[in-house]
Every structure is written in structure tokens, then in C-alpha cells.
Amino acid sequence: MMKQLVLGMALIFLISVPGCTAQETEFTEVIKKEIQMGNQNGNTLVVKNVFGSVSVEGYNGNTIQLDAEKTITADTKEELELGKKELKLNIIEESNRVVLHPDAPYIDFDGKNLKYNWCNNHDEPSYEHVLNIKIKVPNKLKLNISTVNNGEVVIKETRGTDIKAENINGGIALTNVTGKTKVHCINGAVDISYADNPNSASEYYSLNGDINISYQKSLSANISFKSMNGEMFTDFEVNKQFMRTKKKTGKGNKPKYKYEARPVVQIGSGVVDFDFETLNGNVFIKKI
């Protein structure tokens, strides 16, 4: 019974198909590539998509297996040819890290900080694109996976020490995973289940959507919760409730310190800290 807690080498296939209107044209490219990467915690896979889904599945191997579908849509053949020429899936191979992201003259990607510069002076392209990326990955790798529009972030069967997952307009699903977790979702639901509970502090954020999360019954954590229009529910036994105060240092002309109090529930002996935050969504914390 859920209880409510009262708390505030690439193999490429090319396909050209007619679009959905008399003028619109479409081009699809399927990209397959294998990248050697040892199955160890010190190695990392980074995927920073913009339009389309990212699906990652762990397995006990030493090769990153990429299967991506790129679709370009345009109103004219000339614009379609431009999209075919410009839009690429960039694959950066380093000694202990692989980074994937879309690349084109109008896309400004900061490889050092792994983020896009959206405030650039480039014009919008005359075509549209979608990149749907599927990857089988050595299951102990650290993961940093995100997309922005027209897709979901899905990660399953991984055994690494760190997962970072972000999505703007779509959901996030982590299934049978392990490791320290940082999830940030704007318009979509978050669904997570753990093969082993995280043993490091983790953060879960959804602006407009519920967070459904399942931990192993051995959970021992201090769980803080902040929401404007949501509530938190759990079927774990709660040992105690208290308030936690955080001090944040301001920058520039802002006040030097900001103090924020959050309600906290302790499950088990409270070994690790988990922070949950929503604006318009509930949090459901369940036993496996």
C-alpha cells in the first residue's frame, strides 16, 4: 500500500523515399560502426543528440556497437542535397572516452564542456533532421546521454558507477541500472529501476512530469523533496522526518549566501543522500 508523505568503419545504407507532401522529399541513412572500448569503470560514453531518441543497452563485451538512423527532410531537392552534405554524426574516439554528436556548419558544439552554444549567429537550416541512435555498450562504462527534441532517452542493463541522463522534450527511462545518478528532464516522465541501489549521492529532476523510481528493498537513504504542485509517495518504511538546510554561495552582485530548507525522510539508516525535485509532477518511490 503506497503511503503519502506529507512534505512540501561504417556500414551505410541509403534510402530515398517520397515525403508526406507533393513537394517534400526525404533521405534516410543508416550508420553502423563498432568501436573498441574496454569494459571498465574508467571509460565513458557521451551522446549529445538534438533531434531524435538515444537508446543504450549494456552487455558484457568490449565493443561499442552503434546503429544510428539519420533522416533529412526538405521541401526541395536542392535543400535535401544540402542537408545530406552538411549534417553528419560526429564520432570522437579518445583513449578512455567516445563522444557522439550531430555536426553541421550551423551547430556549435563545445567539445571541452560537452554542450551546445545555442546563442550563435548561424541561420536556421532550410531542412530538418532526426537522428535516432541505438548503441550496445560495455556495461561498466560511465554514461552521459542526452537529447533535446523528438525523442526519448532510454538506458538499460548497465553496471557502471555513473549515469547522467538529460532530455528537454521527452521522457527518460533507466531500467535495471546501477551507479550514481543525475537525471534532468523538462517535459516528460522519468522512470527508473535499479539492479543495485546507488551508493553515492544522486539527483532526480523533472519539471513537468512524474518521477517513478524503484529501489532494492535494502535502500538506506536520506531523501529530500521539493515541489510546487507535486507530492511524494513511498511504500518504504520511514524512520524519521526532518528539515535540511543548504547554503548556496551567490555570484556577482547576488547576495553572498542563500539558505534553502527542504523536508527529508530517512529510509533505513540514511547512508546516502538522494534529492528529488519537480514543479508539476509527483514522485513515487517503490520497493523492488
Number of domains in the chain: 1
- Eight-state DSSP code of residue 2: -
pLDDT > 70 fraction of the chain, expressed in percent and rounded: 88
Residue 2 lies in a domain: no
Statement: residue 5 has pLDDT above 50:
no
pLDDT > 90 fraction of the chain, expressed in percent and rounded: 82
Mean of pLDDT values over 34-44: 95
Q: What contacts 24+ positions apart, CB below 8 Å, involve 192-201? A: 193/288, 194/288, 195/159, 197/221, 198/272, 198/274, 199/271, 199/272, 200/161, 200/272, 201/272, 201/273, 201/274, 201/275
Q: In the numeric block, which cell numbers belong to residue 238?
A: 520511514
Give the confidence band of 123 by pLDDT, cuts at 50, 70, 90: confident
Residue 192 lies in a domain: yes
Q: What contacts 24+ positions apart, CB below 8 Å, involve 122-127? A: 125/82, 125/83, 125/86, 125/87, 126/74, 126/75, 126/79, 126/82, 126/83, 127/72, 127/73, 127/74, 127/79, 127/80, 127/82, 127/83, 127/87
Mean of pLDDT values over 161-184: 98
Residue 3 lies in a domain: no
Residue 118 lies in a domain: yes
Give the confidence band of 245 by pLDDT, cuts at 50, 70, 90: confident
Statement: residue 110 has pLDDT above 60:
yes
Provide the mean pLDDT of the chain. 90
Q: What is the pLDDT of residue 118?
A: 82
pTM of the model: 0.89
Q: How far apart, in whole angstroms, are the C-alpha atoms of residue 232 and residue 7?
A: 7
**Which of 6-15, 142-151, 209-218, 272-281 is the least confident region?**
6-15
Query: What are the strands of the beta sheet with 142-147, ordered from one edge?
Result: 88-93, 97-103, 44-48, 142-147, 162-167, 180-187, 202-208, 272-278, 221-227, 257-267, 240-249
Q: Which domain holds residue 157?
A: 32-196
Residue 182 lies in a domain: yes
Give the confidence band of 258 by pLDDT, cuts at 50, 70, 90: low
Statement: residue 105 has pLDDT above 50:
yes
| 128-155 pLDDT tens trace | 999 999 999 999 999 999 999 999 999 9
Residue 171 lies in a domain: yes
Residue 173 lies in a domain: yes
Residue 5 lies in a domain: no
